[in-house]
A and B are shown apart, each in its own frame.
Chain A
Amino acid sequence: MVEELLNVQSVRVCYGESEAIASISMSVNKGEIVAVMGLNGMGKTTLMKALIGLLMPRSGTVTLSGREITRAEPFERVALGLAYVPQGRMVFPTLTVEENVQTGLPPGTREVPAQIYRFFPVLLEMKKRRAGNLSGGQQQQLAIARALASGPRVLLLDEPTEGIQPSIIKELAVQLKQIRDEVGLTIVVSEQVLSFALSVADRIIVLNRGAIVHQSPREGVDEESVGKLLSI
């Protein structure tokens, strides 16, 4: 049965007078992995920030399982089941790896579920290290672990492959699908790398100048036309 989890209805986002997203409507179903693709400056990160609440849309609505969250604070959205991995990872550099994961746990709790370290064994080895001293790939895993710690239903991943070497990108794709299957997660991932998007996503959405210009399930993706939209 298809159950709609996240719904975005004519969302418009502006930075001051300049419009970053004209109007985006999309819907994400339970268990789906949706890749939002587009070149730099086409609104991917803006869309992700609007979804987690770091930017407030000028107009439009965002609903999570039928509940409107358009104006909710980020931490309120996390409590309702959204989780966010920002572009550039943004781990807390002077906190230890373990403390970074703990920041994602529900308020007042400190016990990190064993499952999280099972997905990312390297974090368990390094749990007493300061997060700022980890490599880029490890920080990416840590940022995902921190997001998973809140026990989310929908995970928002903003450009997870940025600045990470190709072999680790492949590994990341495998890990994401494994997590999705085990936890029953829904994932919205913004991406520039088409091969990565095709290896994880069930559906691909292409943004151009703040609007959706192409949308198709992975099976029917016309790689050539999507590739054209993603090249300069």
Chain B
Amino acid sequence: MNAAIWAMQAFTGLSTFCVLLLMALGLAIIFGQMGVINMAHGEFMTVGAYTTYLLSEVSQRWLPGLTNWYFFLSIAVSFLLAGAFGLLVEHLMIRKLYRRPLDTLLATWGLSLIMQQGFRSVFGAREVSAKLPDWLMGSVKPSAAIDIPINGLVVIGLTAALTALVFFALFSTRFGIDVRATMQNRPMASAAGINTARVDRLTFGLGCGLAGVAGAAFTTIGSTGPTSGSAYIVDTFLVVVFGGAQSLFGTIASAFSIAQTQATTEFFMTGSMAKVVTLSAIILILMVRPQGLFALKVRR
């Protein structure tokens, strides 16, 4: 009995871990690699969540044949929409502020407020839910006491696939080399022949697109409101900083430990006490290791 509770609680933690990681991946690229503090990152996630909601409505009303599979389509559309919007924001705002990090913080915070109000005006203040296809709703019962929801499993699979893709893009392609070179030394990267303005634009777009996918995944575990994304932004920054800003492995490890601590302690005490425990632990660890869990050791 006790083991079953542990297992299910651990699985709840795993679902939180997935959304946190999907959010943090985008932010790890934008904040960790580019050093841009994007306070509107949560709203890009909301863009993905509303996109999924809209597609679920559309498929129910006009394309019943699609109802079962729209979720996969919405992942792709969320990525493209949030990514395209990210490119636009980069072009109009972020690229003018690369040398002014604190101004970026203010500007993106303003952007997040504007976007939240935009969502409220278009979709209303009430939370909406994408209708999940039936096959996503059931659960797997490996034993009588354990109940593992299928939507959670799908989100885990999605997260694993996307993480692998991000790793591939950053560490096995020429684009990834350009990104990492630009983030380390922008003027030198340009003098080596890299079009750094283009790299910045694409990196920001990619990060925002990933947030959009996180939004699509989010619809399977919660309902979408104008401020759904902003509820995650603090946790997400925490994940990136705790993991070590430059390290993707660190991001994964820290998202996992934060989500699991949160989920397991939540079971034994109230939600806010669980938060207190998690945050205190993070603060203590960051006091000892200010560079985060994983930091590359090289001569600089």
CB within 8 Å of B: which residues of A? 52-54, 73-75, 78-79, 83-84, 86, 90, 92-95, 99-100, 102-110, 130-133, 146-147, 150
Q: Which single residue of chain B is at the shortest CB-CB distance from A73?
A: B190
Contact with B190, one of A75, A107, A133 (Cβ below 8 angstroms):
A75
Please tell me if the beta carbons of A94 and B296 are within 8 angstroms of each other in the complex: yes
Contact with A52, one of B177, B191, B299 (Cβ below 8 angstroms):
B191
Q: How large is the interface on B (under 10, 10 to 19, 20 to 34, 35 or more residues)?
A: 20 to 34
B residues near A107, Cβ cutoff 8 Å: 174, 193-195
- C-alpha gap A110/B178 in the complex (Å): 11
Could you write out 24 A-B pairs with CB less than 8 Å apart?
A: A53-B190, A54-B190, A54-B191, A73-B190, A73-B195, A74-B193, A75-B194, A75-B195, A83-B193, A84-B191, A86-B191, A92-B180, A92-B189, A95-B180, A99-B180, A102-B177, A103-B181, A103-B189, A105-B193, A107-B194, A110-B173, A110-B177, A132-B298, A132-B300
- C-alpha gap A66/B51 in the complex (Å): 53
- C-alpha gap A130/B180 in the complex (Å): 13
Please tell me if the beta carbons of B174 and A94 are within 8 angstroms of each other in the complex: no
A residues near B300, Cβ cutoff 8 Å: 93, 132
Least distance between B250 CB and chain A CB atoms (Å): 13
In the assembled complex, B185 has its CB within 8 A of some CB on chain A: yes
A residues near B298, Cβ cutoff 8 Å: 93-94, 130-133
Please tell me if the beta carbons of B184 and A93 are within 8 angstroms of each other in the complex: yes
Please tell me if the beta carbons of A78 and B180 are within 8 angstroms of each other in the complex: no
A residues near B185, Cβ cutoff 8 Å: 90, 92
Least distance between B38 CB and chain A CB atoms (Å): 22
Given A86-B188, A93-B299, CB of A75 within 8 Å of CB of B181: no
In the assembled complex, B224 has its CB within 8 A of some CB on chain A: no
A residues near B181, Cβ cutoff 8 Å: 92, 95, 99-100, 103
- C-alpha gap A132/B296 in the complex (Å): 10
Contact with B188, one of A79, A83, A90, A109 (Cβ below 8 angstroms):
A90
Least distance between A93 CB and chain B CB atoms (Å): 5
Please tell me if the beta carbons of A54 and B194 are within 8 angstroms of each other in the complex: no
- C-alpha gap A144/B190 in the complex (Å): 15
Q: Which 10 A-B pairs have the closest CB atoms?
A: A132-B298, A78-B193, A74-B190, A74-B191, A103-B181, A90-B188, A84-B191, A92-B184, A132-B299, A103-B192
In the assembled complex, B196 has its CB within 8 A of some CB on chain A: yes
Please tell me if the beta carbons of B192 and A104 are within 8 angstroms of each other in the complex: yes
- C-alpha gap A142/B298 in the complex (Å): 16
Given A75-B194, A132-B298, CB of A94 within 8 Å of CB of B188: no
Contact with A146, one of B173, B192, B299 (Cβ below 8 angstroms):
B192
